[in-house]
Chain A
């Protein structure tokens, strides 16, 4: 009897999850290299009570909704010219490799810095991976750092190395790990391949690809759907109240 309640609640609970996702996108609207996330829902069928063999041979299964997963938008974010020689943006589908205690992770945020040892690091101090492994060390007496379109880092004292730029056949294999980093999913179907279609642009920085208008529209949508479901629950509640009142009058 309460099925309609449960269906409504299942919808509201996924709408809350979606609201969380939208909130996270909007909170990261200024985060370099951030990629907007979106959610996928899935129908969930309850077990049939009479195996589809009721009096009128109908299927009495009830379909609910559950969250299925999320995916990140792979649309390129706006590229801002910063003039900072240690800012790099990627033009193409690739990702920059970063060394972390959990192994190589990937990022689109190319706002790098130099640490006290002269190594190229991310804003959170993680070492930027070179193509052949190891760190990229900028010599102390270097006057100028140039990063060419294939990711080769050079100074006026000579070449330093090459940035690790990887491409993935399926970018959804990358799971967000926080700090602007993505981790290759343990169940990934693709592996990090060489950068064939990605160019490195020095002195620019890729912003967040979150679209304010899309997120706001989605947010309104979530709110209204939430309220509509609530109305449905209210109607159902009234119906049951009426039913109880009417039935009790008989006696």
Chain B
């Protein structure tokens, strides 16, 4: 069975980190098997953990009063779920639900954040990688917002 530090290298977010850095991050994590339909996080609640998906899909949802929850994005194996533990006020911005049974690595975000405060090399590396993830998903969100599949007025 592969250890968590080895599993981390499968994710684009963590691949390329130094062995000692991977070992420390792995020390903050543990394997979890999460059944389908589990709410990993709810909007506005404290963000103290984050997850790496090994298997399964996690749906990010928005609660809109009077409507069913709106799924705005699904995350896949290799994706990191949750950034809010990194940035004040450390509260979740969306809901997150396992779409099927999932195998996740759950990380203690508070512990890791405190380590980044003292180990700036690790902090820089994690910030750089999470920033790349955020930029990629921001670009995807912009394309969603453009509603390119919607109708454009035409005489055709």
A binds B: no
B contacts, CB < 8 Å to A: none
A residues engaging B (CB < 8 A)? none
